[in-house]
Amino acid sequence: MSDNAPVHSDVAAALAAWQEWLRHGKRASKYTLISYQTDITHFLNFLSQHLGGRIRLSHLADLEARDFRAWLANRTHEFQATSTARALSTVKSFYRYMEKQSLLKNDAVFHMRGPKLPKSLPKALEEPQSTQALEEIGHQHEDDWVNKRDLALLTLIYGCGLRISEALGLRYQDIPQGDALRILGKGNKERIVPVLPIVSHAITEYVTACPYPFSADAPLFLGKRGKALDPAIFQLQIRKLRNVLGLPETVTPHAFRHSFATHLLSAGGDLRSIQELLGHASLSTTQRYTHVDKTRLINAYKNAHPRA
C-alpha cells in the first residue's frame, strides 16, 4: 500500500499486518502479493471518492451491499470480468483477515457475487508451431548466451509443463542431476516432474555459456545484468517470436504449458497423470484439456474426412 493512499493509520496498520500474514502465513508468491496490493489499492481509492474522505476501519465495517455494488460497477468501465472477480476475492480475503483479528465484521461483502465469467478453453499451440518456436527463439539476440537462456527456459516450460513463475523460481542448485525435477508450485505445493534429455541439455548449454558465476542459491535464469530474469523480459521475447512466426496473440509463455498438457493428452496420456504433472489441485481443472482435444479432433475430422 503506498504512503499517500487515502486511508487513516488504523487501516494502514491492518493492511500491513494482512500483507505480512499473506507473505509469511500463507507464503504467497511475490506476484500474488503484487496483485492483491493492486486490487486493494483500487478498492480503497474508490471508497475515498465514494464516501468523500480518508477511510477508517469504522467505514469499512459500515459499508453496505450497495457500496460494494457501486465499486464493482465502477470497475466495469476499466477492467475485464476476470480481473474484477479476482479483485472481489482479494477484498473478501482482507475482510476475512480483519474479522479473524477482531478488527471489524461486515457480512455484506461475503454476500457479493462477482461478474459472470465466460468459459474459456486453454489456448494451445499446434505441435509444428511448438517446434518452430523452439527452433526460432535461440536466434533473437546478439548475445549467444541470452539465446541459449531463452531456449533453455522455453524448452523447460514446454518440456515439463511449468508455469513461468515456477521456472523463474528455480535456483542453480535445483538443476536436475537425473531425470526428475522438484517444483514448488502454487500454494507452495511440491511436485516431481520428469525431465527429458533435451531439457537437461538446453539448461547445461545455457549455464555453460552464461558469463556470470552461479552460487547454489542464485537464480537459475539471469538477465543481462546478472540479476534474476524479469518475467516481463521473457514475455517480450515471446511477443517478438509471435510476430516472426505469425502466431496468434494467444501465444504466451503460459500457452506452452497448455501445449504440454494438450499434446500429452493427444498422445494418449491419462488425465490423472497430467493432473499430477501440472500440479492441479482439482481434476476438473485438468479436464478442460479434454475439450481442447475434442476440438482438435473435430477440426481434423472436418479437414480430412472425404465426406465432411
pLDDT, tens digit, 9 for 90 and up, residues 223-268: 999 999 999 999 999 999 988 888 888 889 989 988 888 888 777 7
Q: What is d(CA 62, CA 172) in angstroms, rounded to the nearest whole number?
A: 51
Look up 77 and say whether it is catalytic. no
pLDDT band at 302 (very low <50, low <70, confident <90, very high): low
Question: Does pTM top 0.85 for this prediction?
Answer: no
163 is catalytic: yes
Tell me, what amino acid is at 212?
A: Y
Rg (CA), the chain: 23
d(CA 180, CA 192): 6
Helix (H) or strand (E) holding 83: helix 81-100
Alpha-carbon distance 274 to 262, whole Å?
Answer: 9
Q: Pick the catalytic residue from 59, 148, 257, 263.
A: 257
Q: Are 290 and 271 in contact (CB under 8 A)?
A: yes
- Catalytic annotation on 75? no
Weakest-pLDDT range from 31-35, 45-49, 71-75, 130-134 = 31-35
Instruction: For residue 176, give the amino acid letter.
Output: P
Active site residue 280: yes
Q: Which three cell numbers stand for residue 197?
A: 534429455
Q: How, if at all, do strands 180-184 and 190-194 pair?
A: antiparallel
- Determine phi and psi for 219, rounding to 5 degrees: -60, 140
Amino acid at site 289: Y
**Amino acid 281: pLDDT:** 65
Cβ contacts of residue 300 below 8 Å, gap of 6+? none
Mean pLDDT, residues 73-89 taken together: 89
Q: Which residues pair with 7 in a beta bridge?
A: 55
Average pLDDT, the chain: 86
For 112-144, letters b (16+ CB in 10 Å) and e give eeebeeeeeebbbbeeebbebbbeebbeeeeee
Task: Indicate which residue of 186, 240, 263, 296 is catalytic.
Answer: 186
The closest alpha carbon to 75, from 114, 36, 109, belongs to 114
Which of 75, 254, 258, 263 is flagged as catalytic?
A: 254
Domains of the chain, earliest start first: 9-111 (1.10.150.130), 127-304 (1.10.443.10)
Active site residue 59: no
Q: Is 126 left (phi over 0), alpha (psi -120 to 50) or beta?
A: beta
Residue 5 CB-half CA count within 13 A:
25
Say whether 254 is catalytic.
yes
